[in-house]
Amino acid sequence: MTVLIIGFSLRSDMISGESKTLPRTAFVHLFEWQWDDIARECETFLGPQGFAAVQISPPNEHAVVAEQGFPWWQRYQPVSYKLQSRSGDRTQLANMIQRCHQAGVKVYADAVINHMTAQESGVGSAGTPFIRYHYADLYQPSDFHSCDRNIRDYTNRDEVMNCQLVGLPDLKTSSPKVQQRIVEYLISLLNLGVDGFRIDAAKHMESQDIAAILALLDRQTTKEPYIYQEVIDPGNEAIKKTEYYPNGDVIEFEYGKKVGAKFMGIEGQTIAQLETLGESWGLMPSNKAIVFIDNHDKQRGHGGGGTYLTHQDPELYDLANVFMLAFPYGYPQVMSSYRFTNSDQGPPADANGKTHPVYRGDQAFCFGEWVCEHRYTAIAPMIQFRNITTDTAVTHWWSNGNNQIAFGRGDKGFVVINREDTVLTHTFQTDLPQGTYCNILKSEVERNRRTCGDRTQAIAVNAQGQATITALPMEAVAIHVGAKVS
């Protein structure tokens, strides 16, 4: 059973003199959270825990699909670029960004710029009436590609670029007018302090169109947002992720599928095989890759399908996330979601579609209708592990040839993962300095007392760098220099 964390157990001040220079190297997607809740989470958890950034749901006005129970995907059906969504209004968005920045957390906005809403007509979340292909003074029929049908063949480049993704009117992103409208929207977010953009459905826009939009953005603002693009490339379709490298980073969808398959043991695969994970597996270069174990699409079997671990398989999900955050590949995105019983279900809400808050007063109500995977004890402390071990290579890889592995990150950290149903006890070689370390996945570090909150989780490293470590079945152990108590 997964272990959950309600507060936070590790702080950047654990490494004397390094709290202001320790890099932040992983981010979280707070899927469908309201802006006020994200602000509070930045202050009370994300900032102290060392998260680099938070990805927020699309902040623009969207369709309101009451007849289908206000599904999650209504956020991905733009009506206008007004900053009024079910997460909050422009003022709340600006306040959230400012508070997250004060907590040391950047904000990445999900930018839906490939299409508009598939609904025939209606009124958006900011009160804007629309008719399909007619969006007030924003877009008219001539601003869309003429292919008025869904994509049928993903090996046909023209269809993928110009036809409709699940009925969504496809914007003519090669048009100077459309490009300027998109740039004005992105600038409105940058002026509020947004630090980067996830380019939704980038695969359905020519790479040169995105490049032109970004060049126009560069000419009209001095800000330099971080860019990462959604390109689902399973390797057998017309669109290739390599096309999008010049524009910024790219989401590596194959990572979660391949890592998940090892942990699930699909067709006899084992986690010992993860030793060589990287470009040789057909993955993109590490410095271009956004990686995840699951995301909002893959949780639901959307976005091309595939077998991915989720919070519904908690033990394996924990171990896979420990691996992702310990192994030096890509820029990790941690998922934080809500419970659902069907794949279209929107966030927890009342009968009118108003999203339930995560925070009530000073307390975050996680692990119920809001899952909050980023607060799991197998995930939250590993953010600090990754921050501390950045720029160090894998050292002393060990495996039993099956589903028990261990590896170091130079002289900064060491992790053991036991995916088997038997106890693992072994004396491992590490490069850690001699001393006593706390297992960060099971124990708080009591710096003042120079001990571990749970003393059974103290691990001794001798002068030769050797440590005898016990990992229970389906559990992991992680230590790093920030958790050294003597």
How confident is the model at residue 304, as a pLDDT? 67
How confident is the model at residue 106, as a pLDDT? 98
Same domain membership, residue 300 and residue 432: no
Distances 342 to 17, 119, 137 between C-alpha atoms, Å: 49, 21, 36
Domain boundary among 369, 389, 409: 389
How confident is the model at residue 11, as a pLDDT? 38
Same domain membership, residue 215 and residue 108: yes
Q: pLDDT at residue 445 above 80?
A: yes
Domain count within the chain: 2
Same domain membership, residue 17 and residue 105: yes
Active site residues: 200, 230
Q: Take residue 24 and report the two structure tokens written for it.
A: 């932040």
Which residues on adjacent β-strands are paired with residue 445? 452
The region that residue 370 occupies, defined by phi over 0 for left and psi between -120 and 50 for alpha, beta otherwise, is beta
How confident is the model at residue 9, as a pLDDT? 38
Q: Using 50, 70 and 90 to split pLDDT, how confident is the model at 303?
A: low
Q: What CATH number is associated with residue 452?
A: 2.60.40.1180
What whole-number distance in Å separates Cα of residue 81 and Cα of residue 135?
10
Same domain membership, residue 472 and residue 340: no
Same domain membership, residue 407 and residue 369: no
Q: Is residue 149 part of a domain?
A: no
Across the chain, mean pLDDT equals 94
Task: Report the pLDDT averaged over residues 373-388.
Answer: 97
CB contact set of 215 (below 8 Å; sequence gap of 6+): none
Q: Is residue 78 part of a domain?
A: yes
Per-residue pLDDT of 114-123, as tens digits, reads 999 999 999 9
Same domain membership, residue 338 and residue 401: no
Q: Is residue 122 part of a domain?
A: no
Q: Is residue 49 part of a domain?
A: yes
Q: Is residue 148 part of a domain?
A: no
Q: Is residue 16 part of a domain?
A: yes
What whole-number distance in Å separates Cα of residue 199 and Cα of residue 113?
7
The pTM is what? 0.95
What is the span of the domain harbouring residue 465?
394-483
Per-residue pLDDT of 345-357, as tens digits, reads 999 999 999 999 9
Domain boundary among 330, 356, 389: 389
Same domain membership, residue 109 and residue 54: yes
Q: Take residue 175 and report the two structure tokens written for it.
A: 């048009």
How confident is the model at residue 307, as a pLDDT? 84
Per-residue pLDDT of 237-285, as tens digits, reads 999 999 999 999 999 999 999 999 999 999 999 999 999 999 999 999 9
Domain boundary among 389, 407, 441: 389
Asked if residue 47 lies in contact with residue 39, where contact means CB atoms within 8 angstroms, the answer is no
Same domain membership, residue 224 and residue 83: yes
Q: Which segments of 115-272 are extended strands (E)?
A: 121-123, 129-131, 196-199, 226-229, 249-251
Q: pLDDT at residue 301 above 90?
A: no
Q: pLDDT at residue 144 above 80?
A: yes
Same domain membership, residue 401 and residue 333: no
Task: Report the pLDDT averaged over residues 187-206.
Answer: 98
Same domain membership, residue 380 and residue 468: no
Q: pLDDT at residue 14 above 80?
A: no
Same domain membership, residue 403 and residue 440: yes
Q: pLDDT at residue 10 above 60?
A: no
Per-residue pLDDT of 158-170, as tens digits, reads 999 999 999 999 9
Same domain membership, residue 369 and residue 251: yes
Give the three-state DSSP class for 259.
helix
Task: Report the pLDDT averaged over residues 170-182.
Answer: 98
Q: Is residue 135 part of a domain?
A: no
Distances 462 to 6, 416, 435, 457, 480 between C-alpha atoms, Å: 33, 17, 7, 16, 15
Asked if residue 436 lies in contact with residue 486, where contact means CB atoms within 8 angstroms, the answer is yes
Q: What CATH number is associated with residue 306?
A: 3.20.20.80
116 CA to centre of own chain: 24
Q: Is residue 123 part of a domain?
A: no
Of 466 and 13, which is predicted with more confidence? 466
